[in-house]
Amino acid sequence: MTTEPLIILVEDEEHLATGLIFNLQAEGYRTHHESDGDAALAYLLAAPQEGPEAPSAILLDCMLPGTDGFAIARALRAAKRFVPVLMLTARSRTEDILEGLEAGADDYLPKPFDLNILLVRLKTLLRRTAWQATTAASIVEPSPPDEYAFDHHLIRFDALELIAPHATTHLTLMEADLLRYLTDREGKIVPRKEILEQVWRVHEDTDTRAIDNFIVRLRRYIETDPGNPVHLLTVRGVGYKFVS
């Protein structure tokens, strides 16, 4: 018996929430709605992590009564609850979008948005998560591993994991995408603007340093001394370079 994915909608705009619930259910999803940030966080922290009542994905507004969406995403990550998060934001500035990604969101969608785009983004998150779980549980002849090894570290892009000698870190989709982009270009300088446009689909007329805080977090994952990095390097005034 197949159980349809359970989508958690955290949105305080009543008309938008009603429309999204209707359309999500029309697509075959089950839904649970919360309009208050405090109540949403309590529900998500108490929700089962396995079984039919485990959330499959979260549509998370960033501006909420009580706890905001950024804080909810951070709290879920701190609690090691890695449900895919698609953040909905009325604030489309690059800094705000990157704050959501830095908080642990897997993708973002600025308001107002096209319903079809939201549904496609949601399906993509669910498909990648399902593929990840299937890959981890598979006992058939494996395909070549989707991974990158360097200096006693292993990035498993298929499992969204970074394995270090003393810890394993769960990566968000956006973190994994950024690491893949940089490691694919190992030794080459990658401009900030290129990362924004090619990895995160953020288009800016001018370069921005808003991405720097995100890079700092990745360094905490992969560097022995994050203050003196040897792998994820800053090229002053330009961007970043990954060195294995």
Q: What is the 3-state secondary structure (H, E, C) of 120-135?
A: HHHHHHHHHHHHHHHH
Is the pTM higher than 0.85? The answer reads no
In this structure, are residues 36 and 65 in contact, taking their beta carbons and an 8 Å threshold? yes
pLDDT per residue of the chain (244 residues) written in tens, 0 to 9: 458 999 999 999 999 999 999 999 999 999 999 999 999 999 999 999 889 899 999 999 999 999 999 999 999 988 989 899 999 987 666 677 778 888 888 888 888 899 999 999 999 889 876 655 554 444 444 556 689 999 999 999 888 889 998 889 888 888 888 999 999 999 999 998 898 888 887 776 554 666 787 888 899 999 999 999 999 999 998 999 999 9
Q: 69-78 vs 94-103: helix axis angle to the nearest 10?
A: 30
The domains located in the chain, with CATH, are 6-137 (3.40.50.2300), 147-242 (1.10.10.10)
Closest CA to 223 of 172, 169, 177: 169
